[in-house]
Amino acid sequence: MRALPRLLAALIVAVPLATVTAVANAADDPTPVTVLTKDFEDGTVQGFAGRSAETLAHSTAQAHGGTGSLLTSGRTATWQGPSLDVLPTFTKGTAYTVSVWVRLSTGSDNARLSVERRTGGVAAYDQVVGNTAVSSTGWTQLTGRYTLATDVEFLRLYVETASTTNPIHIDDVTASYVPALPIQTDIPSVKDVITEFPVGAAITGAEILAEHGQLLTKHFDSVTPGNALKWDATEPAENTFTYAQADPLMAYAKSKGLAVRGHTLVWHNQTPAWVFTGADGQPMTATAEDKALLLARLENHIRNVAAHYGTDITVWDVVNEVIDESQSDGLRRSNWFTVAGLDYIRTAFRVAREVAPHAKLFINDYNTNVAAKRDFLFGLVQQLKAEGVPIDGVGHQVHINVNWPTVAETKAMIDKFVPLGIDQQVTEMDVSIYTANSENFPAPPADRLLKQAYVYRDMFALFRQYPGEITSVTLWGLADDNTWLDTFPVTRKDAPLLFDTRLQAKSAYWGVVDPSKIETTSSPSPSNPTTGACAVTYRVTGSWTGGFQGEVTVTNSGGTALTSWNAAWQFTGGQRITQLWGGTLTQSGAAVTVGNASWNGSLAAGASASFGFLANWTGSNPVPAAFSLNGTACTVR
């Protein structure tokens, strides 16, 4: 798994736009059930404690709401901070949204929200919110989702920092959940529609529980443990092997008849520091002694981990992300390469073949649709195979977004490796709704979800053209409630998968299963017909204290095509638009005018275009009563 440098590209691609209908003044999600509230207004620490010898006290020096907060001082390490026992509160298998407001007393840093859990006295740590900038000049909200996936005897929520030990204020701590919906059983299973190759999903412990497990087994043929088989999870200390994270996933997969892709035996990330520490206690360098020790550790690791699962794992990502196209030879200057050169790759594949002769062995990388990276990977695989290194296949991660890459670039990626006569697999696919790090949507805009559906449609159509070459496609997650893209490359809610945060099928699902239903499923037809020359649908798609997200669809109901358009209305409640996409905004007081974007100005007779926005409101949020298109009054749907 790796970031996409070109995720930042801001190219906008035109796709068909659908008519959106819904109740205009209601958000889609039900009211969450709040299970935890800490506001520090009673003068106590409200059950919080330090993780070591920190001092916790009620404070009136700062407050996010009301007059009080909790101050943690006397910190001597970054991991020390305010901690709360949530074992009596959190139930296994329930997805909680946790929110904490954080402010430093001095300076600035990055803060994280994490969970420590213990089973059988063994501690493990889960990150709820990744590094987020905080300072002493204002309050910052850390909010994320957490699902307890295992039985535990200890469970504490805590705030920590990345680099400093400055005192921390926290306030208005909440945890809530939305009652689970049953999965949709009356829709086709992905695995039954896509028969050219198995379709899988990356999983954590949360994906094998309750409705998540039902969704997983209904739609997918295989699973990839996303983190549970990596080096830090399986051999955290030298020659001390643990399979506490992976064994439950493997047992579940076996009981449900799911194939397993092993990920990953060698990677430059999530490898403990001791692996690259020499016998003298110093960081390894390119000496014969250090190289021999490193390769011995590598061999020992693979022999233990691969042997532990035997024939239960039929595919291994043996080495992961070894290409760096910015280097003249295309090889990543990782600690592995610096100390051992290509011999670490040769050793890894040789040992994996000895230990798992039944398994297909893959080299896996991201951005393989980029020509330079693709070509370097091709050259490396060609060289190693000529040397007799037992590489059976190439894994294409396919972490992409709604605007990039093109189908042609992806086809060129596949075609490049066909002459090598090896398997190709899509190993970590997701489609981000974001095209720039500066974007942040409180809820996924309808136009982005529609673009995403067409990307999934086109990519799966391409993959199905290569049934003998593409031998598996794995999505990097089960549903939008648990995706690595929520915290990478920046912290924000993404929606990159086929099922939404409530495990319901999205337009992206229909893009894979039945593309003819993309527009009708994402945008049902209006219940009342248009009678004028234009029609407008206005929808509030989400709301929160002081703000909301909206969508507007304009339809050309007349008989003449439009080459450009302007939609106009009046906000009577003092609402103010702060961000708009899919058009150009002008607002003067209550009067709002939105013109077309460069790519959606042409409206044939009967055609529609949509745009979305974020806005502020106070007191009330009345729906506009009247709309016009190019100065003509429209029917309001």
- The residues that bridge with 579 in the sheet, in sequence order, are 614
- The residues that bridge with 260 in the sheet, in sequence order, are 223
Contacts of 325 (CB under 8 A, 6+ apart): 370, 372, 373, 376
Question: Do residues 222 and 492 lie in contact, with contact meaning Cβ atoms separated by under 8 Å?
Answer: no
Question: Do residues 258 and 221 lie in contact, with contact meaning Cβ atoms separated by under 8 Å?
Answer: yes
Write phi, then psi, for 217 (nearest 5 degrees). Answer: -75, -25
Please say if 514 is a catalytic residue: no
Kindly write down the DSSP assignment for every residue of 56-90, as one continuous string: EEEESS--SSTT-EEEEE---STT--EEEE-TTT-
Contacts of 281 (CB under 8 A, 6+ apart): none
Active-site residue identified among 160, 423, 428, 430 = 428
Contacts of 483 (CB under 8 A, 6+ apart): 430, 476, 477, 494, 495, 496, 497
Closest CA to 156 of 200, 185, 107, 123: 123
Please say if 289 is a catalytic residue: no
Helix (H) or strand (E) holding 354: helix 343-355
Q: Kindly state the tokens that stand for 560.
A: 């003449």
* Cα(38)–Cα(388) distance, integer angstroms: 62
Please say if 321 is a catalytic residue: yes
* Cα(404)–Cα(401) distance, integer angstroms: 5
Burial of 249 (0-12, 13-18, 19+ CB in 10 A): buried
* Cα(612)–Cα(548) distance, integer angstroms: 11
Active-site residue identified among 321, 392, 486, 500 = 321
The string over 427-461, giving b where at least 16 C-beta atoms fall within 10 Å of a residue's C-beta and e elsewhere, is bbbbbbbbbeeebebebbbbbbbbbbbbbbbebbe
Q: How many CA atoms lie within 13 A of 81 on its CB side?
A: 26
| Residue 562 DSSP class | B
Active-site residue identified among 54, 160, 171, 365 = 365
Active-site annotation, residues? 321, 365, 428
